Amino acid sequence: LERSRNLTHLMTGCLSGAVIELLQTVGAVADDFLYNAFVVGGFVRDLLLRKTNMDLDIVVEGDGIAFARTLAKKLGGRVREHERFGTATIILHSGLKIDIATARLEYYEYPAALPTVELSSIKLDLYRRDFTINAMAIQLNPAHFGRLVDFFNSQNDLKQMAIKVLHNLSFVDDPTRIFRAIRFEKRMDFTIARHTERLIRNAVKMNLFGKGDDPRFFTELKLLLNEENATPAIERLADLGLFPFLWPDLRPHLNIDRRLRHCLVQTQRAISWFKLLYAGDQYDPWIIFLLAIMGRSPLSVLATFCDRFHVPPKTRALLLGEKQLADQASRQLATAGPPKNSEIHLAFKELRIEGLLYVMAVARKTEVKKAVSSYITKLRHEKPLLGGDDLKQLGYRPGPIFKTILETLLIARLDQEVKTRDNEIALVSQRFPLR
Ligand code: ATP
């Protein structure tokens, strides 16, 4: 550990008192167990970049699960154990998550008279990680609190803003790292180092992905498409030759063609527009990008995609449902003249925000884009003035008819055929006469 540097000062400057205290507690419990404990990975990387990262990944040289149980008692939280991997997750009452992993001691038997050598297990743990910038650790035991563990010159790569693998077989061991390389490159505005890029191109050429049946491909793709600005990352996917693997039906347009680029720009624009208006709303940008990229593919191709990448059944149903409804709505609205409000409502009412923004992104006609915008900002919030209680008072018996009546009223309201409560009452008694 020649490069050992102490980060306590940086930590107290960048982290809240609560996080420091938490890290100190981890160190104290580790001492009780006679283990070494470290915080590792993205947390260390982001600390050195002075960015906040609330994912705590802890590695202990010892039994991680037993350690997690004791730590959870001390901190007050639930433990989820993953026996097979020797890992555990502690969920604190505050909602903060701490992942605990075990670095196993590995003994190397030397022949003949030489003694068994114990290789530092944290070093092996870090060596198995994806990139040098993610392969640093900070020790937490009280006597060494804040000591930076950097075996692989990671600090230098961080300074050079370089994404580098730790060894030549990295992408052979785990091809999903290719997606991670792109994600980090674009998020942090780093560069995939030349040798690492060569290894990626080789892995792609050798078709290392096989069938893509590792569910982590889809997980990593989702993370990539969910990044703040996904467009450059998608273009990099194309640049590195990953499109034929992900979307074989787009094969003729290997190098992202003009149309796809236009579609990505429109998608980003639709998302930015929505974010500006509804900052707090939850939605999944990756769905919009995925639908937009496959915008010109038939439904069956999306189904094949879901099967190949082992997309969970619920997500599969959601993606297929949104695409089907959205494509249908786009077609309907594009063929007629300017649509009535009620027609917009009928076309869009079953869609989620993701499907709506997808329609907005791929629409060629401004009329369709406008329809989405008007639906999101106004029409979807409209409601009839009368409610179920009013209908009961008017003498209607509760049942499926209520839904029909209220929908009829909503449509009349959207097309401005009714204004007041009295207008609505008149319309109900005219359309649904009581016997
Ligand atoms: P983010 O900021 O996106 O959360 P992160 O670096 O924290 O980035 P995670 O996906 O949470 O990324 O992974 C945590 C750590 O686990 C990483 O820093 C990395 O060291 C390691 N890791 C994750 N995935 C892999 C992988 N496929 N191969 C090797 N190491 C990995």
Span 67-118, pLDDT tens digits: 999 999 999 999 999 988 889 999 998 888 999 999 876 555 555 555 554 5
pLDDT reading at 256 higher than 90: no
Question: In 3-state terms, what secondary structure has residue 35?
Answer: coil
For residue 338, what is the DSSP state?
S
413 lines ligand 1 (CB under 6 A): no
Distance 39 CA to ligand 1 centre (A): 13
Nearest to 426 by CA among 386, 382, 383: 386
Give the list of residues 6+ apart from residue 68 with CB closer than 8 angstroms, or none.
79, 81, 88, 89, 90, 100
Q: What is the largest CA-CA distance in the chain?
A: 103
pLDDT digits (tens, 9 = 90+) for 361-415: 999 999 999 999 999 999 999 999 999 999 999 999 999 999 999 999 999 999 9
Sequence-distant (≥ 6) Cβ neighbours of residue 245 within 8 angstroms: 204, 207, 209, 212
Give how far Cα 260 sits from Cα of 12, 254, 361, Å. Answer: 47, 11, 11
57 touches ligand 1 (CB under 6 Å): yes
- How far, in Å, CA of 268 to CA of 264, rounded? 6
Indicate if ligand 1 lies below 6 Å from the C-beta of 220: no
Q: Is the pLDDT of residue 232 over 80?
A: yes
Please indicate whether residue 214, judged by its CB atom, sits closer than 6 Å to ligand 1. no
For ligand 1, atom 26: residue with the closest CA: 130
Q: How high is the pLDDT of residue 108? A: 54
Is the C-beta atom of 227 inside 6 A of ligand 1? Answer: no
Task: Give distance in angstroms: CA of 371 to centre of ligand 1.
Answer: 41
Q: Is ligand 1 within 6 A of the CB of residue 129? A: yes
Return the higher-pLDDT residue of 93 and 257. 93
pLDDT mean over 204-233? 88
Residue 212 makes CB contacts below 8 A (sequence gap 6+) with 245, 308, 309
Write the CB contacts of 414 (distance below 8 Å, at least 6 apart in sequence): 340, 341, 342, 344, 345, 379, 382
Nearest-CA residue for atom 28 of ligand 1: 130
